[in-house]
A = this chain, B = another copy of it.
Amino acid sequence: MQLEINSYFITKWKSQVKKGLLEYIIMLLLKSKPCYGYELINEMNQFASLEIAEGTIYPLLNRLKKEKLVTSEWAEMETGIPRKYYKLTEEGIVHLEVMKQYFEALNLSITRITKE
């Protein structure tokens, strides 16, 4: 008997893994350089092979802004549509550090369990 993968389960799971981790990854990316929303979607896809929807990124960025972890600024382009650039605040950097510690500790535990 062939064991089949329940792709519905896996798809659902992947989407759940993104919850929280997305916020972390976005903040990591914003720490290295300010980005605009549409750009982040491409960066995520390229660097992390993570497909994310526009309906995910814009609410997320607004949440981070409301929490004062990022600031945004419109940038008029010489050519093309105006872009809203997001930048990590000092507070964002401090929070990112806490998140990093948590994630790395968690990650270590997972690695340990995996190798058991």
A105 to chain B, nearest CB (A): 7
Interface residues of A (CB under 8 A from B): 3-6, 9-10, 13-21, 23-25, 28-29, 32, 47-50, 67, 69, 90-91, 94-95, 98-100, 102-103, 105-107, 109-110, 112-114, 116
Interface of A is mostly: helix
Cross-interface CB contact of A98 among B5, B15, B47, B107, cutoff 8 Å: B5
User: Which residues of the other chain, B, contact A32 by a CB distance below 8 angstroms?
Assistant: 113, 116
Report the copy number of this chain in the oligomer: 2
**Could you pull out 13 A-B pairs where Cβ atoms are within 8 angstroms?**
A6-B67, A13-B99, A14-B102, A17-B102, A17-B103, A19-B20, A21-B21, A25-B110, A28-B110, A32-B116, A48-B113, A49-B105, A49-B109
